[in-house]
Structure 1
Amino acid sequence: MERNGRKTYAKKLKHKIDNKYQITNKNALNLDNRGLLGTIAGNIARQLRDNLDNKVDKRIYKENNKAKCLKITFWNVAGIRNLEEEWEKLLEYDVINLTETWADEKDRELIENKLINYNILLVEARREGKRGRLKGGMVTAFSKSLNVKSTIIEKLNEELIKLDLNTDKGKLMILSVYMRDRRSENYEKVGKILEDIKEGYIIMGGDFNARTANKGGRESEMMTEEYRLSKDKVVNKEGEVLLNWVSDNGMYILNGNVRGDEQGELTYIGTKGRSVIDYVITNRKTEEDLIERMQVVDNNESDHQRLDLQLNILTKKVHEKGSKYKTIIYEGWSEEDILNYNNKLKELGRPENWNGLREKLKAAVCIKKIRINTSIQKKKWWDQECHAAKLELKKTRKKYIETGELKTDYCECKKKYKKIIEDKKRLTLEKDWSEARKDKTGKKFWELINKQRTKKEEISKKIHMVEWTEHFAKQMGGKVVEETRQLGKEEKIEKNEDQEITQEEVEQVIKKLKKKKAAGEDKITNEAWIYGGKELQENLQGILNKIWNGDEDLPEEWKMGIIKPIFKKGDRHKPENYRGITLMNTGYKIYAEILRKRLEKEK
């Protein structure tokens, strides 16, 4: 009686939307007789509901989505260095989960520069042997502007990262997965975690390397078994393990069972074939309360498709254009700036002591601001040929996805695209080096060198000031002792007019100052002295002689230096892996250099 009721219900629904969804009797006959007719009824009902809702949803969704949707992405990138403009697309997400990055600690700087407004956890890829290539590797990043009460990010092992967010809807656990060598360990570890939060919000996504056909979906009230749509019809050994684990832990697969991916799109399209091996897995509570949409996004950079998820969780709007820019404040030293600087120096007169001279220099320097676009810029080597090759690859890939045919054409097209990109990069670099060799000034040569250098590592914020003090105190020989004493009569330095600092001495030292060097505590750069002219040199000479003759005390700020930690190698969070450089005030450096030269002459 119950089965007949389900059949009648299915027929009524089928009759209503037969023309729209082309559900024929022939289709129905292809299904087995184990209650799956009820499954089709459920799917038809969902499609009908989505179709009716979408007319309103599509209009409202764009507005609501900007303000409230928490955006998450899971993606097997097959090497972060393969990404080009895809980096900019990733900035649209609040939580980014990347697997198979082939990245180690050396790539941290690249990742941090691309994801500048994110907190990042890097799980290093492993190298097989000393010369083997890197394999695996994971990155999970979440926006620094995320509107949550608290966040905890944790590496469980080389194939699992856990991110806990305390949101306005409650606690949400996001697990990034890359099933490779530790499958049994991973399932056991996650299973234990789920036991503690059975009623919580859980999202588990990534590359499971398992094929599950159309199984593992959410069980509806009308169904006797789980069912979902999928364009992959194969269940392999790894898939059976995943299906058993999902069933035992009260979870289910969202792919092919959610708005945005109603058909169960393919997630892997490569030379080895087409399949669904990347999933988002959740529980009933999470889907009903939070999940608005999931989408499988096609791309040319990886054989794996990106899985995008949108949750109904309030979050700050962090994807504004303004977030792509940062303001840099710097000193201007163009010809016009130097002229204005010297005119300003004349207007400000001639101060009689160091404090006055310092303030005069600060007031005269031209301070400028510039907004830098931190988004991914178009590559110099990218041209129309690259664009055309990418479009052709996209077109061939689409046909391969839809029909399963033209695999050879797709593989050849992908090889051709990669070769064009590699050739363009190589030719552009050769051209740049050729121009650098012809440049007699050496400016272009150093520009090229600096572009290819990795930038200096940022100082770890986890090291406290006490640790820095202890570390540099040890480097300087233990304790730092301040010692002052009066010179005895026999120790006093004899002074006469011939010993006074000359203008020639000041000029010689200033001539040897290097440009573009960091300033000391007073923020006066070498350029302020270099471009100041003879009048400024005479002013400085007079003040230095007052200090030399004892008419004015050595400025207190000259007795201090700023120690700047420079990362060497190893763990960034340990102070012993840093060396220090001391930044002194430029006025003191000029004075000290004059004295050093005098001492050399006396030897």
Structure 2
Amino acid sequence: MIISVYNNVGIKKIESELKGVVEENARTAEKIIIVGDLNARVGERNTEGVKEEGRLKRKSKDKVFNSEGKKLLKVCKELGLRIMNGGTEGDRKGEITFIGGKSENCGSVLDLVLTLDRGGDSGISYLKILKSIDSDHLPLILNLNEKDKAKAGAKRQGSESDHIAQEEGAIKIEEDILGWKKDKIAEYQEVIWEKWNEKITERETELEWNDMKEIIYNGAKETGMSKKRKECDKADKTKKEWFNNECKLKREEVWKALKKLTNEKDSNNKS
């Protein structure tokens, strides 16, 4: 089970709801993973009492431990949650996940991955923070351990390029654009439910993320909520395109600045 969290009100205000969801599902869900912007800085600490034997000790490029981080660790201890950032294959250094703050050279780890610690497999085989200039929060890639992978003949490789290629390949379903329509909601829900049940019957296992995306896409297509991308003449597109050479140069500058920032964080931690 994956729980998505966005905290913009403080750990204390989301504590009750988070505990309720985890405790309600702890008996039935084999794995519980919490992912999201928790707006709490925990430095290199992990939950007190979690079993570290045979596991990577947490590292982080963000050494700050603030009051929200202290509250989060308290919640993690009560629920038995373990922090995966900085202690998982793919993110052994604890890369920063947020670029920004009061100073120009400010980066922090606010987006966290937590798992219910039962002393065995966490359910996560790989965690990667990608560099991106599309948002001040950097995207995360997770690879989950799934029992049916071997039966399905699926292969999971450990290299960064393989994981990124899998993610990019998973996103590209069709070149259509989805456009949601309020008057189609009831019809869409009915189609989605039907396709969901069909897929479960067909696979006889829990659905994967790609299955869900396929259901959403095909449901939207069948209910008239998708349209083909317009094919523009290349020359005409160049004239109308706002993303000109100046924009490209600026983007390169931003990329260089982001790379410099992450490298400086790394070198500062080594010194």
Is 1:312 aligned with 2:145? yes
Quote the offset at 1:264 in angstroms: 0.4
Residue type at the aligned position of 1:252:
R
Q: Aligned pair count?
A: 186
Q: How big is each residue's C-alpha offset from its partner over 1:76-110, in whole Å with a ceiling of 9 and x where there is no partner? A: xxxxxxxxxxxxxxxxxxxxxxxxxxxxxxxxxxx
Residue type at the aligned position of 2:257:
T
Q: 1:221 is matched with which residue?
A: 53
Q: Distance in 1 between matches of 2:57 and 2:110?
A: 17
Quote the offset at 1:288 in angstroms: 1.5
Partner of residue 71 from structure 2, selected from 220, 238, 241? 241
Q: Distance in 2 between matches of 1:391 and 1:291?
A: 33
Q: 1:449 is matched with which residue?
A: none
Written as runs of structure 1 = structure 2, the 5 A alignment for 1:484-563 is none
Quote the offset at 1:286 in angstroms: 10
Q: 1:175 is matched with which residue?
A: 3
The 8 Å contact of residues 98 and 136 in structure 2, kept in 1 or not, is answered as: yes
Q: Distance in 2 between matches of 1:307 and 1:266?
A: 11
Runs of 5+ unmatched residues, structure 2: 153-165, 178-226, 232-236, 267-271
Q: How big is each residue's C-alpha offset from its partner over 1:144-169, in whole Å with a ceiling of 9 and x where there is no partner? A: xxxxxxxxxxxxxxxxxxxxxxxxxx
Describe the shift of the 1:374–1:280 C-alpha distance in structure 2 as closer, same or farther (beyond 3 A). farther
Q: 1:303 is matched with which residue?
A: 136
Quote the offset at 1:177 in angstroms: 1.4
Q: Distance in 1 between matches of 2:78 and 2:171?
A: 42
Is 1:290 aligned with 2:123? yes
Runs of 5+ unmatched residues, structure 1: 1-171, 327-370, 406-603
Q: How big is each residue's C-alpha offset from its partner over 1:544-580, in whole Å with a ceiling of 9 and x where there is no partner? A: xxxxxxxxxxxxxxxxxxxxxxxxxxxxxxxxxxxxx
**Alignment partner of 2:143: what SS?**
strand
Q: How big is each residue's C-alpha offset from its partner over 1:122-161, in whole Å with a ceiling of 9 and x where there is no partner? A: xxxxxxxxxxxxxxxxxxxxxxxxxxxxxxxxxxxxxxxx
Q: Distance in 2 between matches of 1:287 and 1:277?
A: 26
Residue type at the aligned position of 1:402:
N
Q: Distance in 2 between matches of 1:189 and 1:321?
A: 35
**Alignment partner of 1:288: what SS?**
coil
Q: Distance in 2 between matches of 1:374 and 1:249?
A: 50
Written as runs of structure 1 = structure 2, the 5 A alignment for 1:199-218 is 199=27, 200=29, 201-216=31-46
Q: 2:20 is matched with which residue?
A: 192
Describe the shift of the 1:222–1:380 C-alpha distance in structure 2 as closer, same or farther (beyond 3 A). closer
Q: Distance in 1 between matches of 2:34 and 2:126?
A: 15
Written as runs of structure 1 = structure 2, the 5 A alignment for 1:466-485 is none
Q: Distance in 2 between matches of 1:231 and 1:192?
A: 32
**Alignment partner of 2:141: what SS?**
strand
Describe the shift of the 1:324–1:177 C-alpha distance in structure 2 as closer, same or farther (beyond 3 A). same
Q: Distance in 2 between matches of 1:309 and 1:178?
A: 17
Q: 2:83 is matched with which residue?
A: 253
Describe the shift of the 1:266–1:287 C-alpha distance in structure 2 as closer, same or farther (beyond 3 A). farther
Residue type at the aligned position of 1:294:
L
**Alignment partner of 1:323: what SS?**
coil
Residue type at the aligned position of 2:72:
L
Written as runs of structure 1 = structure 2, the 5 A alignment for 1:281-430 is 281-284=114-117, 288=121, 290-313=123-146, 319=170, 323-325=174-176, 372-373=228-229, 380-404=241-265
Q: 2:202 is matched with which residue?
A: none
Describe the shift of the 1:271–1:194 C-alpha distance in structure 2 as closer, same or farther (beyond 3 A). closer
Q: Distance in 1 between matches of 2:130 and 2:172?
A: 23
Q: Distance in 1 between matches of 2:87 and 2:8?
A: 25
Residue type at the aligned position of 1:393:
V
Q: How big is each residue's C-alpha offset from its partner over 1:335-357, in whole Å with a ceiling of 9 and x where there is no partner? A: xxxxxxxxxxxxxxxxxxxxxxx
Quote the offset at 1:258 in angstroms: 0.5
Q: How big is each residue's C-alpha offset from its partner over 1:375-432, in whole Å with a ceiling of 9 and x where there is no partner? A: 9x99821122211211111111211222159xxxxxxxxxxxxxxxxxxxxxxxxxxx
User: TM-score if structure 2 supplies the norm length?
Assistant: 0.59
The 8 Å contact of residues 115 and 122 in structure 2, kept in 1 or not, is answered as: no
> Bigger radius of gyration, 1 or 2?
1
Quote the offset at 1:186 in angstroms: 1.3
Is 1:232 aligned with 2:62? yes
User: TM-score if structure 1 supplies the norm length?
Assistant: 0.28
The 8 Å contact of residues 325 and 374 in structure 1, kept in 2 or not, is answered as: no
Quote the offset at 1:323 in angstroms: 2.0
Describe the shift of the 1:230–1:212 C-alpha distance in structure 2 as closer, same or farther (beyond 3 A). same
Identity %: 31
Quote the offset at 1:182 in angstroms: 5.1
Q: How big is each residue's C-alpha offset from its partner over 1:465-487, in whole Å with a ceiling of 9 and x where there is no partner? A: xxxxxxxxxxxxxxxxxxxxxxx
Q: Distance in 1 between matches of 2:137 and 2:71?
A: 21
Residue type at the aligned position of 2:45:
K
Q: Distance in 2 between matches of 1:239 and 1:306?
A: 21
**Alignment partner of 1:319: what SS?**
helix
Describe the shift of the 1:222–1:202 C-alpha distance in structure 2 as closer, same or farther (beyond 3 A). closer
The 8 Å contact of residues 219 and 227 in structure 1, kept in 2 or not, is answered as: no
